[in-house]
Amino acid sequence: MVRRLTALFAVLLSLCLIVSTLIGCAESAETADLVVDDLGRPVHIDDSAESIVSLGPSITEILFALGLAERVVGVTDYCDYPAEAQTIAKVGAPFPGFSAETILDLEPDLVLSLAGTVVRQLENAGVKVVVLNPTDIHDIYRDIELVGQLTGTEKEAAALVDSMKERVAAVVARTGAAAAKPTVFYEVDASWNENKPWTAGYGTFQDSLINLAGGTSIAAGRSGWYEMSAEEILEADPEIIILEDYQFGVTPEAVAARSAWGELAAVTSGRVYAVEDPNLTCRPGPRIVDGLEMLARMIHPELFEA
């Protein structure tokens, strides 16, 4: 009798182990088909998406860089790079807001968004929405890889990320060897009030790029974008001034003409630089490395002379 019970117990134990293994395999397979977007939401991988709407210029640049131009059916009004993106149907702009109806009319399989814009409306309509909201250059790498997973272009994404990392490492190898880290004032916009120009503080892409480029931002004491008083700038006396608002007509000559600014170290040494294409430093996409290389040449021209 004892032997029969022992044998029966062994059989039951074996069955339990088999069932547990099967359940575990099923859970593993299901988990393998899931990724997490930048809002921490689980998303099922489906590389069959043939019609994609991009709700961010940087996202559009990622899609084109991965060779997915033919799958993009809609972009924002601000998606201007590469030039081919300007020929794709426009779905509006973040402000005053995208129209869910306009996007749904394009019948997308996948919508990639920079933030929570119209996400709930689109998802309620049965559309898969993935949010990409990077906060630093490492998040950009991750988002490129995520888009690769979602579209079946993992190899292309890996190659792109490897290339970006290699270029960043090359810049850091040079700037890291610099004897000093010049102080930098990065002006985002003074077109409204030159006495309180907007700047990029800690936690912004611009601040991160300045650090990688071998500089020290005088605005790093505060986080995010904020208005910095002329008094604070004059007291900090930056060695370099970089003008993202050159796009709004603010020139190095205009900066030198501001009250008391003519005595700043950056002005007297002729180190006030214009950013001709601000998209290189504020769009979290593949060209962010172009922005880094541009800033590195401004901050440490001696390290990048031909």
Residues 161 and 49 in one domain: yes
Quick one: pLDDT at residue 306? 62
Kindly compute the dihedral angle of the four CA atoms of residues 47, 101, 41, 154, in this order, to the nearest 10 degrees.
20
Q: Sheet harboring 128-131: ordered strands across?
A: 72-74, 52-55, 110-113, 128-131
Q: What is the pLDDT of residues 161-176, one digit of tens each?
A: 999 999 999 999 999 9
Instruction: Please state the domain count of the chain.
Output: 2
3-state DSSP assignment of residue 284 = coil
- The pLDDT > 90 percentage for the chain reads 74
Quick one: pLDDT at residue 154? 95
Structural domain that includes position 137: 42-167
Residues 113 and 134 in one domain: yes
Q: What is the pLDDT of residues 97-120, one digit of tens each?
A: 888 999 999 999 999 998 766 888
Query: For residue 5, is pLDDT > 60?
Result: no
Residues 144 and 212 in one domain: no
Residues 138 and 196 in one domain: no
Last residue of a domain, one of 113, 146, 167: 167
Kindly compute the dihedral angle of the four CA atoms of residues 258, 259, 262, 263, in this order, to the nearest 10 degrees.
-150
Last residue of a domain, one of 109, 139, 167: 167
pTM of this structure: 0.86
Quick one: pLDDT at residue 34? 83
